[in-house]
Structure 1
Amino acid sequence: MDAREVSQLLADKALSVSEYLLPNGRKNGNEWCCGSVNGEEGQSLKVHLCGSKAGVWKDFSDQDKGGDLLDLWAACRSLSFVDALKDACRWLGVEFAPKFSVASKKSFTRPSVRLGAVIEPQANGYFDRRRINGSTLKAYCVANHDREIAFPLMVDGAVYNVKYLTPRRKRDEKNRWRQESNCEPCLFGWQVITPDDDKVVITEGEIDALSVFQSGVKALSMPSGAKNLEWIEYDWERLQQFRVIYLALDNDDAGQLATMEVLQRLGEHRCKLVDWGDFKDANECLCEAGEAGVLDAIVGAEYKKPEDLKNAIEYAEILFQDFNGLLDTATGNTTPFAGMKDFKFGMDQLTVWTGYSGHGKSQLLGYCMCEMILRQKERICLFSGEMKPYKVLNRMVRQVCGKLRPDQDDLTDALNLLSGGMNINGERCTEENGNESGGLWIYDVNGAASLERMLNVFKYAKQRYNCRHFVIDSLMMLGVAESDVDRQKKIAEMLRDFKSQNNIHIHLVAHPRKPDNGDESKPPNKHDVRGSAGITDLADNVLVVWRNSEATGYGADPDAKLICQKQRDSGCQPMVNLFFDRESCQYHEREREAISMITGERVRRDFKSPYAR
């Protein structure tokens, strides 16, 4: 339990803590009021009791006094910060820095070396060049030892270890470091820490710690560089007194990797990251930018918040786009039908298409895809495990041409349009004329397919060809049993994640359960989809295709319905009646007819309904 966690526990019990520490005070609204930290009656000292500021207090008769409830505890009981922390833990009934038993405890020795006098910078050019002054060296007890510089690692006045530096004498030489052997790992610099300190900087090297201290902030240094973090285990309890720890390691790969590990182990909630900018480390910053530069870097340190935790204000720009219809999800693609104008296929969405077997859900989906490719210039990647690719294309070519048997010219034009070879005006698309076109790519696997492999191919199609709509026909062709609801839910989760990560739209065909007594006279609903309820729960949209079995195909009754039973974004659930042209496999709202998508001309009108204009 570190200081920050204890402070939060106290804040959760702000009223009880205030009554305990200041029993002569009085509750006034959302504040506890008394005269001062001595506890007399009055209104000068106020403690917030609830909300985001619970536990924050201020003595308005003495502007220097204030803080959180740990600070109040220390002030009221005249304790050091560390002692107040331990006392508060006892009151809360929690253990301060709990000790864990270990299977085997190492045996360490303490160095018996006797150090010389504290170094004077003027007498040692090494520190003079690094702008480290005598008071800093004295505070850290940096001393002479023969021809070496000794950096004692001390805890409570006892020397746990000593590191030695032999500065280089020539430019082509390196500084040489060594330390005593078999010593207990600990941070360098505990000699400057007092029980009242609740903030500290941790650096990668001793010289950096001295540089930070000289700039006005107490600092500790890792004893063996960025690659050895054994000190965390042994300094764990001593580190619990700090509410904020500034990680100020070197600005290189090794330093940044170590920063991330230390951050995870000491806790993201109390560690701030110091950015040295263009400088390698604290000492280089001191030499180039002075003490003010070092202090600015520390003051500017920030917590590394989780990437998936955001404040509401961070969504301002995307909200503006959403309210003004500028997002793909707000605009989206449409079906060919005016009666479905309130339904959109937006990006980052999953649509489930369902309908009884033989009711035309794949056929109607294919017709909508033709519309998107030719009219809306979308690029689509399609998997149909239930039909061979040439059979899928046979039906789509009929829908494009408006004919049962297109001639060679029609077939060529239709394939050019579906493949992206031409735009809707019949102009061949080239990089030179800048024409954009839709196009169709097919994932050529017949029968059961691996979803993992399919998604890899889909990602390639997105990245290389900018396909934005992906059709999976059907769920049962992904090698999942109807009774395996866990796998079905997992598939739905994988599709949800994939469409979000790649900002695309997925169309998933899913069969419904067979109706009781085989009665298909009423459309199924989203709850009738076979298998896991997670399929439609995770979907953004659910569309139902239903064929009217009582329609003759020649009378006034519509042949089919397209029904929206879920649209998460808008909540609108439109429905449209459709007439079906058997030869072209086209669907229209007002009459049975066939329209060439190549020329826009009517190829055939079998029946004019009373709803036609």
Structure 2
Amino acid sequence: MYKCHRCGSAGSWFDFKRKLQGGVGVTSSGGYLNGGSNAVALGAGVEVKIIQVLDNEKAMAIQKNLLDEPEFEPVLEYLTNIRGLRPDVLQKYCVGAIEQPFWDHDSGRRINATCISFPWMARQMDMDAMGVVCHGGVDKRKAATEDKNLFDVVRLKLRAVDDKAKQQLVPKGGSWGLFGWNTVPAAANELVLTEGEFDAMAVYQATGMAAVSLPNGCQSLPPSVLPLLERFKRIYLWLDDDASGQSNVEKFAAKLGLNRSYIVRVPSKAASSVLKDANDALRAGLDLTAIVKAAEPIPHSQITTFEELRRDVYEEIMNPLKACGVQSRAFPSLNRLMKGHRMGEVTVLTGPTGCGKTTLLSQLSLDLCGQGVSTLWGSFEIKNTRLMHKMLTQLAQRNLCGEVNAFDAAADRFEALSMYFLRFFGSTDVDEVLDAMEYAVYAHDVQHILLDNVQFMMAGQGRGFDKFERQDAALDKFRKFASVKNVHLTLVIHPRKEQEDQDLTLSSVFGTAKATQEADNVLILQRTQGKSTLDVRKNRFDGTLGSIPLIFDPETASLREPGAEGMSEGVAAIDLEAEMELTQRRRMQKSIRALEHVDTEHVDNLPDMQQGASSLMQGYEHVAAPASAFHDDRNQTNGYNGSHRFKVNNGSSLPRLNGDNDTNDHDDDECSGGSTGGSAPRTGGSGSEPFAAFTPIITR
């Protein structure tokens, strides 16, 4: 942090460098598609954002709809009966209801949906701290007469009751904010920061403590809201007890300040696949006050004990899919080999010129970004506009040339993604690229970074052996960056010149062996005799290697597996679960056979041993659900992150995936997130927050 005591300017280290250097070379997809940004410079280099605010009277009318209008009575019943929230709490947080049209990609038209509204409210002093100016300036007479301590509604988050994937932020391009900020007393020095809106209201209802929610779930903590939190001496960070939420705990705590951040977790004795957040704990009748008071600070970053990691190890054993990562929907066979997309890893992709490396990565990045993995693209070989053209074609699954309406629909979906692009092109200093990457991780909470390609980025920066030494030094920095920042880094490295009729190997990667040694995964896109295959030649996660045949579709500019359709993010993990189930069954059968092969003289002890075998099978009961037992009456599929609902089926000792649940029978919120266009649930998310992991922000 920096602060100038003369002019009062303050901000992060990146804000300081941006004001001195004029930018860090990062832009969003919306900036390119809209031809610019709505941020302007005022005064001595101070950047502010011009926004439109809502009319307070209209916002209050939306709130009255929930409490007074009979047509919205089902919404009130859902919030009170299913979510367990009192009407007075809903009124204090100004929760409302409204009918909102959403674009339906299947029917090609807008369909109205009943929505819950969560207002973001702020005072004039809050907007000043966030660097926000209302559109059209401030009326001098209004500013002179109105109290600057009064709250205005700066934005609304709308979420459909029956389909959580339908979400919008109104107005488009508005400021970030904190839901529940209007309920925080001015004298409060402690605050509970939750992942979702229902969680914040649950904490306040049960404890009376000031509670607000993150604006984008566990996806990000925008730096613009950090000035609002500076006055608090203690901040309780309560994220969902799943892989998505827990993976961001340390990152958010570092932003808030490690010395004042306390991590809240549901007690291990009460934890289950159902109790993942504060709202679930409220409905289960747990003592939320005791849970919050039992929060612990972040331990030293370089020293740990098994006691501190015991719960993480337990979760990894009980929910194996949590450790596998985000599942690919575009290439289901890739899940069988690599098991998923994991944070903190480095992937190297190589292949001959023109084989489709950029096509493959753009398709994968869209797939992952659609599931909420914030992405940063660094294209040093082709211009960003050309790369986006390819991505829009892949997203629309059709040729957009001359199709204005189709372009607008695809552009709206693409703009809703958390995807950012480096402005660098051609030869660029590695330290400048790392600086921009670090800024993107800090400001936009980027989780996946792609650099295409290393040779173009380092062109002309060395000759002879010095060229290899520079590349090794750059790879060492990239490896350290991925580990320290806990992001997935994908590097494209061209191969050496090989004979066209021979497949590439690990030794074909350009440079020394450091590239393949530092990488966790090495992918080789082969193209021989007109046929393309994707080879997994290194897999540090579990060592599984293999090859995937691919076919290029020129109409959609996409690669696909022959005879395979794209899978939903929940279904994409079923094959992996089937493999785990098979391994699990073999373990149990082997153990049971060992128990059954007893000496005849110990036959009398057989009942005890059978009991031991039964307990052994019960011990495996929650390791993985059998794919054959996959079922959900509401057709909701949850993939990784341990978001399964287990139920014993037909007396079997193995659990049933997505079975009925008494606590969440009527909860349509088991999965949180959206597809690429915000039209499909993500896996493993919170049961209570509209914008959680794998959910792009949708503004129309």
The TM tier, using the shorter chain, reads: 0.3 to 0.5
| Bigger Rg over Cα | 1
Q: Which has the higher contact order (CA 8 A, sep 6+)?
A: 2
> What TM-score does the superposition give when structure 1 sets the normalisation length?
0.40
